[in-house]
């Protein structure tokens, strides 16, 4: 494989083809620290043509390619395997051009290595909004959030990544470039090929650029942190607010007390917004494209009625943007606080919104019965039915043994998810983490179709092997 490395150095330049172990190391472990793999080199191309040349060279040499963006994924999809055939990591972080901003068409075309926060800022410069919002938006990149079909906190109003992509540019496994960068809302000329690559985790090709939807920028917003006694009260409140405010309800997050406790413990400057602890909280945000739209008054009116009816126990409405940012920081730092606390068994599930209370109650009861004293950190996007449901032992010394029982614990959670017609992965993807269990929760027909698509586009199996399909 020395000849391949020499070829790759010629394509991207020697400084951008990392083969020394110390240079490769930061790219070979996932954000959570759960997976560490091996690679012949980490290759950082500068443009689509270089990506094409790299894939051609790897195909000729029989070397696998693992596409990688900001390396913020949570299922090991952008990390090479620890064992297997030769592979390179293809990091797209140098593809950082904003190719076009078309405010009149509400579209922006950007390359795969552009960080999400930069896309948001570019939209704001032309008085538009790109609504995808993630805790990792400063470091996650366009190619990564497309390849994992990222969700985030505003799916309730704007949809997930799949609904925000108008067109793609993709380098196929054999090096051919497909230019599908169409900024069209209507294109009824056969199969919508871009959808194959959204959420495919780099197993079908390499996304090098995308045309994304923009929206009118909100000019008024109101944010509130509310205490509720149980998830059923939160679901009822969501229905009440959507009935009163429609799609101006932009975000609706559910947060358990253990989740908040971890943030208060591990994140400097974090403060409890309320004087007394409560079992559950809701973080809600309403936005409008009009100034002076009366959002605060509307929310206050609805909350007064909810408090009188007992659905809301307490709450605070942010009076300034900095206060709103502080409330959002509590939600956005839950994952970081968990990371500092230690490892846990993580789940990213979705069920119908109406089934959220049933899931939380029954999952908690089943887990407590099987694993007395289990600590459940439950939070997530209640508005679209997506919960992050993470489990550990309160005592760190007991956690290694508990993590070793992940398969059994997962079965308890996922069997209930299936009973409720849900999904075992709402927004994080499959990667290495859920690859082996995916066939247990997808039908044989679905798995056959997915394998057929993989075989048709990547017959050599060189694109990100060992991810999604085993």
CA angle at residue 381 from 105 to 231, to 5 degrees?
145
Q: What is the pLDDT of residue 34?
A: 86
CA angle at residue 316 from 312 to 319, to 5 degrees?
145
Backbone angles phi, psi at 97, to 5 degrees: -85, 140
Neighbours of 390 (CB within 10 A): 23
Q: Report percent pLDDT > 70 for the chain.
A: 100
pLDDT digits (tens, 9 = 90+) for 182-221: 999 999 999 999 999 999 999 999 999 999 999 999 999 9
Backbone angles phi, psi at 231, to 5 degrees: -60, -35
C-alpha 170/C-alpha 178 separation (Å) is 5
pLDDT digits (tens, 9 = 90+) for 327-386: 999 999 999 999 898 889 999 999 999 999 999 999 999 999 999 999 999 999 999 999
Neighbours of 216 (CB within 10 A): 12
Q: Which tokens go with 442?
A: 């997808």
| pLDDT band with cut points at 50, 70 and 90 for residue 55 | very high
Q: What is the pLDDT of residue 33?
A: 86
Judge whether 47 and 95 are in contact, CB under 8 Å: yes
* Domains (range + CATH), the chain: 2-91 (3.30.43.10), 98-216 (3.30.465.10), 220-335 (3.30.70.2190), 342-428 (3.30.70.2740)
Whether residue 1 is predicted with pLDDT greater than 80 in this model: the reply is no
Q: Which tokens go with 428?
A: 């994080």
Residue whose structure tokens are 């739209």 = 293
Nearest-Å Rg of the Cα atoms of the chain is: 23
Neighbours of 159 (CB within 10 A): 15
Q: Helices 406-419 & 356-370, crossing angle to 10 degrees?
A: 150
Q: How many secondary structure helices (H) and strands (E) does the chain include? A: 17, 18
Judge whether 143 and 199 are in contact, CB under 8 Å: no
Sign of CA dihedral 325, 327, 329, 332: negative
C-alpha 423/C-alpha 75 separation (Å) is 15
Torsion of CA 132, 136, 140, 145, to 10 degrees: -40
Nearest to 88 by CA among 59, 52, 58, 112: 58
Q: What is the pLDDT of residue 215?
A: 98
| pLDDT band with cut points at 50, 70 and 90 for residue 265 | very high
Mean pLDDT estimate for the chain: 95
Helices (H), 13-115: 21-24, 48-61
Within 300-403, strands assigned E span: 314-317, 348-350, 375-381, 386-392
pTM: 0.92
C-alpha 135/C-alpha 253 separation (Å) is 13
Nearest to 88 by CA among 115, 61, 49: 61
Q: What is the pLDDT of residue 348?
A: 95
Residue whose structure tokens are 């032992």 = 393
At residue 160, the 3 state secondary structure works out as coil
């Amino acid at each position: 494989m020395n000849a391949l490395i020499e070829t790759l150095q010629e394509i991207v330049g020697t400084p951008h083809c990392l083969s020394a172990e110390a240079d490769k190391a930061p790219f070979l472990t996932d954000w959570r620290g759960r997976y560490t793999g091996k690679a012949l080199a980490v290759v950082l191309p500068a443009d689509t043509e270089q990506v094409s040349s790299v894939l051609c060279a790897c195909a000729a040499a029989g070397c696998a390619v693992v596409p990688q963006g900001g390396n913020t994924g949570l299922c090991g999809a952008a990390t090479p395997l620890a064992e297997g055939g030769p592979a390179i990591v293809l990091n797209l972080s140098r593809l950082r051009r904003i190719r076009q901003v078309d405010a009149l068409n509400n579209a922006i075309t950007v390359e795969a290595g552009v960080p999400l926060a930069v896309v948001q800022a570019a939209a704001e410069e032309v008085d538009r909004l790109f609504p995808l919002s993630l805790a990792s938006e400063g470091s996650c990149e366009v190619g990564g959030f497309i390849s994992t079909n990222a969700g985030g906190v505003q799916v309730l109003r704007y949809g997930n990544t799949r609904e925000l992509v108008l067109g793609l540019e993709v380098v196929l496994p054999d090096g051919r470039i497909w230019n599908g960068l169409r900024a069209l809302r209507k294109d009824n000329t056969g199969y919508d090929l871009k959808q194959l690559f959204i959420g495919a985790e780099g197993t079908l090709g390499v996304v090098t650029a995308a045309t994304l939807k923009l929206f009118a920028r909100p000019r008024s917003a109101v944010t509130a942190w509310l205490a509720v006694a149980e998830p059923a009260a939160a679901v009822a409140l969501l229905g009440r607010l959507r009935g009163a405010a429609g799609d101006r309800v932009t975000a609706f997050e559910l947060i358990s007390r253990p989740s908040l406790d971890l943030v208060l413990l591990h994140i400097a400057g974090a403060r409890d917004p309320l004087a007394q602890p409560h079992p559950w909280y809701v973080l809600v945000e309403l936005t409008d494209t009009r100034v002076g739209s009366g959002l605060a008054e509307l929310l206050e009116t609805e909350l007064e009625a909810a408090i009188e009816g007992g659905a809301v126990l307490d709450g605070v409405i942010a009076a300034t943007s900095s206060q709103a940012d502080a409330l959002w920081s509590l939600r956005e730092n839950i994952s970081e606080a968990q990371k500092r606390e230690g490892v846990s068994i993580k789940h990213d599930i979705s069920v119908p919104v109406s089934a959220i209370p049933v899931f939380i109650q029954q999952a908690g009861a089943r887990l407590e019965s099987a694993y007395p004293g289990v600590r459940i950190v439950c939070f997530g996007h209640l508005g679209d039915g997506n919960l992050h449901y993470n489990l550990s032992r309160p005592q760190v010394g007991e956690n290694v043994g508990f993590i070793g029982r992940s398969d059994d614990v997962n079965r308890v959670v996922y069997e209930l998810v299936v009973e409720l017609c849900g999904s075992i992965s709402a927004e994080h993807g499959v990667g290495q983490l859920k690859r082996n269990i995916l066939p247990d929760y997808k039908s044989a027909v679905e798995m056959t179709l997915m394998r057929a698509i993989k075989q048709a586009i990547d017959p050599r199996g060189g694109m990100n092997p060992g991810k999604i399909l085993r």
